Chains A and B, each alone.
Chain A
Amino acid sequence: MLSGGGPSYGWRTRALSLLVGGVVWEAVSAIAATPFLPSASATMAALVELARNGLILGSLSISIANLVVGFLAAAFVGVAVGVTMARVRQIEMMVEPILHALLSAPGLIFVPLLFTLFGATRLTQVGSVFVHAVFAITATTVDSLRPKSAALIAMATAFGATDAQIFWSIRWREAHPMLVSGLRIGALLAVKGMINGEMFIAFTGLGALTRTYAARFEADKVMAIVVVISAVALAAGALMDVVSRGWRRTPARSR
């Protein structure tokens, strides 16, 4: 979400630093010797075991399906509402304060509401992904569509362009970089929504698996799932980076 904008260190430093961290982790867990701080090696062993017996893969595919459906719905609704707000001033004025309030609140708080509507079903899990991501996507879409090139718009107006033409040919195109970074933020929030929703309605997916092992106090397996979920989050971020680069490379078509 926040890259920090500082120097970026080479992969060698990162790899070495991760290696040192792994050794420290191993040593600390050996010294502490509490059952709930599994060592790096125990975590890896648990990961391999869960991967072998198919539990991880089964839950992962369910989780990813929840994630993809929920995120696509949030992206579609978020961008559509954002565009509507940016185009119609009255709607923006009406929705904006509510949107800010919804954006400030933790995403999980809306999941009990989904539960009252849909019960303990997968729809609630997908809905959790949706409510975690949709408000941030809407807000960034509105922000990205604020007019930027006053000169371009003045020229278009002088040449008799309609409102719709100005919107789609100038403001919509200029919005792309920020729109995509909004979708990236949305994707990371969607991963949180995925795991929160599955932990709340604990019957399928990685979240449910986490709760099962937590209830059995199998910390190494919980840790192994944390690793998998983090990988999903990293992959979602990386995927959005690829999408945004592809988008930027596409030259703006002139009409």
Chain B
Amino acid sequence: MSLAGIGLLWELTGRWSNSLLLPSASETISALVHLATTPLFWHALWASNQALLVGFPLAAAAGVAGGLALARWQTVDRWLDVYVELLLVIPKSAVMPLVVMTLGFGLTPRALVVFIFAFPVIVVTVRSGVRQVDQRLLSMARAFCASEAQIWRRVLVPGARPAVMTALRLGIARAVAGMVTVELLLVAVGVGQLILRFRADFDAGSVYAMVLVVVAEAVVLIRLAGLLERRWGGLAEAGTIAG
């Protein structure tokens, strides 16, 4: 209903403005259908997502491990806290040129950019989640002489699970942002390259179609992460800010 309403509004605006720059909904859909029949489109989608497939799991592993370590050992946290905050604040796109200068234009720099985008939010979310693990459980475990390994296995890891699932949902949104940002700004491959090419050709319908594809991918991935979160994370909250 909502989609139909907005679609109708879009169609009418597009037709009324009758401009080369603002395609109507039907023009965009037909561009999308046409794109989906070309191998070019699928190659581009695959090229982009390779960076996501490499970068995101690495960011997830490093971020969860880092978050757990910071929450468990206060000395580490004390020394690294200011850097964690800096990681969150520094606009990642400004750092991208350094990555590309060092590593060139291949898959590695793009995967690293995905990593840089997703890692900070995962660390911070896991850290704050684990800090909320019931302190009484920890002191009880200590009172009963639990070993460090037992504390991790029985208290920290189960207690951290909701935060980890939330962190992965927030992280995947940032990872998609990283994937698209590096392609649009620095390394023109994949989806980003197609958008830039269509833009140069004044093919507004195809530009809009590609944007729809990226929005759809982000929505689907975040929804999936939300589903996993509800299934394994205990509590869940829909929606997230990708930036």
Determine whether A20 belongs to the interface, using a CB cutoff of 8 Å to chain B: yes
A58 to B181, CA, bound (A): 26
Among B79, B80, B131, B199, residue most surrounded by chain A Cβ atoms (within 10 Å): B79
Chain B interface: which of A76-84, A160-168, A184-192, A241-249? A184-192
Whether the Cβ atoms of B195 and A37 lie closer than 8 Å is no
Contact of B184 among A5, A36, A104, A200 (CB under 8 A): A200
A132 to B177, CA, bound (A): 11
A175 to B86, CA, bound (A): 29
Interface of B is mostly: helix
List chain A residues, Cβ under 8 A from B88. 1-2
Whether the Cβ atoms of B97 and A222 lie closer than 8 Å is yes
List chain B residues, Cβ under 8 A from A4. 84, 124, 127-128, 131
List chain A residues, Cβ under 8 A from B39. none
A105 to B211, CA, bound (A): 9
Closest-by-CB residue of A relative to B90 is A230
Determine whether A226 belongs to the interface, using a CB cutoff of 8 Å to chain B: yes
A105-133 interface bits toward B, Cβ cutoff 8 Å, 1 = contact, 0 = none: 11111111101110000000000000010
Q: How many residue pairs between the two chains, A and B, have CB atoms under 8 Å in the bound complex?
A: 193
Please list 13 pairs of residues, one from A and one from B, whose beta carbons are closer than 8 Å in the complex, sorted by A's number. Answer: A4-B128, A5-B128, A17-B78, A20-B79, A96-B2, A100-B238, A102-B215, A103-B241, A104-B218, A105-B219, A110-B211, A139-B239, A195-B93
A34 to B101, CA, bound (A): 11
Whether the Cβ atoms of A192 and B98 lie closer than 8 Å is no
Closest-by-CB residue of A relative to B221 is A104
A104 to B211, CA, bound (A): 13
Whether the Cβ atoms of B89 and A136 lie closer than 8 Å is no
Whether the Cβ atoms of B98 and A97 lie closer than 8 Å is no
Determine whether B83 belongs to the interface, using a CB cutoff of 8 Å to chain A: yes
Whether the Cβ atoms of B181 and A106 lie closer than 8 Å is yes
A6 to B70, CA, bound (A): 11
Whether the Cβ atoms of B177 and A136 lie closer than 8 Å is no
Interface residues of B, CB < 8 Å — how many?
Answer: 66
The B36-53 residues at the A interface (CB cut-off 8 A) are none
Determine whether B112 belongs to the interface, using a CB cutoff of 8 Å to chain A: no
A155-194 interface bits toward B, Cβ cutoff 8 Å, 1 = contact, 0 = none: 0000000000000000000000000000001001101100
List chain B residues, Cβ under 8 A from A225. 94
A185-210 interface bits toward B, Cβ cutoff 8 Å, 1 = contact, 0 = none: 10011011001100110000011001
Whether the Cβ atoms of B91 and A234 lie closer than 8 Å is no
Whether the Cβ atoms of B185 and A103 lie closer than 8 Å is no
Whether the Cβ atoms of B89 and A237 lie closer than 8 Å is yes
Whether the Cβ atoms of A196 and B222 lie closer than 8 Å is no
The B130-161 residues at the A interface (CB cut-off 8 A) are 131-132
The B1-32 residues at the A interface (CB cut-off 8 A) are 1-3, 5-6, 21-22
Whether the Cβ atoms of B196 and A112 lie closer than 8 Å is yes
Contact of A106 among B3, B79, B176, B195 (CB under 8 A): B176
